[in-house]
Structures are given as structure tokens and as C-alpha cells.
Amino acid sequence: MAAITYLSLKDQLSSMLGADSVADLPPVDQDRIGICINQAYRECYTPIDGKRPMWAEKKFNLNFAADQAGAELSHEITSVDKIPELVGEGPLSPMTGPEAEIKARSLFSWDFRSPSGRGLNFPHFKDNEPEKGRPVWYYVDNRNSGSDSKVIPRFYLYPVPDKAYSVELYANVVPAELSLDTDEPRIPSDLVWDILYPMAQGKILSDPRYNGDNKEFIARMADEARKRLRQMVSPQKHKGSLRLGKRPGW
């Protein structure tokens, strides 16, 4: 089967705007078709219903030096999935964020109550230096550090590593934009014409230049493609254990 390229998709979709190929369209319409294809491509990886497919995940390895608490992740990452592993040590437990780290290294010291007894209690805490040792917790923060030009997720460990460690994780990613004519979309079983193409057709329906009488049919085909996509969330259907079961009487 011939490779399905970005150019193939653009040529097929150009017929919706009355052209035989994308080269016959003015530049603004060529750009619009490319935008619609990439919108549909990103939706395959980030479905509207939030059910991210397993094939939209990517494996990453992070190396931490001693006293290095955090590391930048790729900007293509939208979220870290499942349980990251501290290589050679075991799984990492999630923290809710930097605020949880502050609480973890703060000690309760005393309460204050006014002599009259009518005042409020004011708990006092002592903020200690971050602990150092084998990391146990992790959290991901993508807030602007003050100079970010892109949304950059950062992966933090706590306690602060006392030596070099490596972390393996899987993360949900947004695919690289299709830009070259020879680019090929990464879709399971190469079902580009069955999933990506109908979804891209549905995106073009919003173009004011499209005046076909089959808008309802195209919208229905796009919805069917999304349903087909949901059936491909995981390659493994059976997830129960045949061996790790509790025997009767226990």
C-alpha cells in the first residue's frame, strides 16, 4: 500500500473547495486545508471526550544529578501518565504540586491565642530546608517561570536527590505538526482514510467557501470516525489477571 502523505490528504480535501489538487488553490485556502488536517490530527491524540489512546503516549527518560530537584520536559507533553519509575529504586508517588512540597518540609511549631481568649488561633510553622535523599515523590508543574515563551512542563522530585538518579515515564503528547508534503501521520493500523480524513472533512465544513449539499452526511461520517477512534484506545482488551487471584478461603 502506498504511503499516505500530507500531500495526499491535502489533494483529496481540496476537492471540497472545487479544486483538483491543493496546488490549484490560492495560498490562503492551501493554508486553511493544512490547518484543518492538523486540527483533526491533534484531535486523534487529544480526543474531546478526554479518553487518550495508549498510542498517543511516548516514553521519556530523565537524568537527575545530585542536588537537582527538577528537569524540563518537552513542550509536546500535555500530561504525565501512570506511575513514573525511579530506575533501580521503584515507583514514585504523586504530589499535588509545589505547595505539597512546602507542607512536607514545614514543621508545626506552636499556636497563638490572645491573652483575652477572644482571639483566633494562628498556627505557626517553621520552614526547613528541603530534605535530601532518595526521591519518593514527584510532581509536574507547567506554570510560567517568568521567562517561558512556551508552556513548558517541569518534573520535580522530592526529597532532593542525594546522588544521580534516572527516571522513566510515559507521557501524553501532542503530535508534531504535519508540514512537509512527505510527512506521514502516525495512526494505528494506518487507518488514515478511515479516521483522520473524515475528521478533517468535518473541520472544513466551517469554511464559508464550502457550499455542498452533503454537510449532514460529512458531519455524520466525522462522528463515526471519532467512534472508531474510541475503539482503538488500548491494544490490549483483556486486563484481568489469570494468576494473581485470591484463592477460596483467604
Distance CA 246, CA 249 (A): 9
50 pLDDT tier (thresholds 50, 70, 90): confident
Is 37 exposed, middle or buried, given 0-12, 13-18 or 19+ CB atoms closer than 10 A? buried
**Mean pLDDT, rounded, for 125-129:** 68
Of 70, 133, 146, 145, residue with least CA distance to 105:
133
Of the chain, the percentage scoring pLDDT greater than 90 comes to 64
Asked whether residue 111 carries a pLDDT value surpassing 70, the answer given is no
pLDDT of residue 105: 80
Distance CA 22, CA 12 (A): 8
Distance CA 202, CA 26 (A): 21
pLDDT of residue 14: 94
User: Which pTM value belongs to this model?
Assistant: 0.82
Of 98, 61, 92, 82, residue with least CA distance to 161:
92
Asked whether residue 156 carries a pLDDT value surpassing 90, the answer given is yes
> CA-based angle 60:65:71, to the nearest 5?
45
Q: Let me know: does 208 contact 242? Beta carbons within 8 Å.
A: no
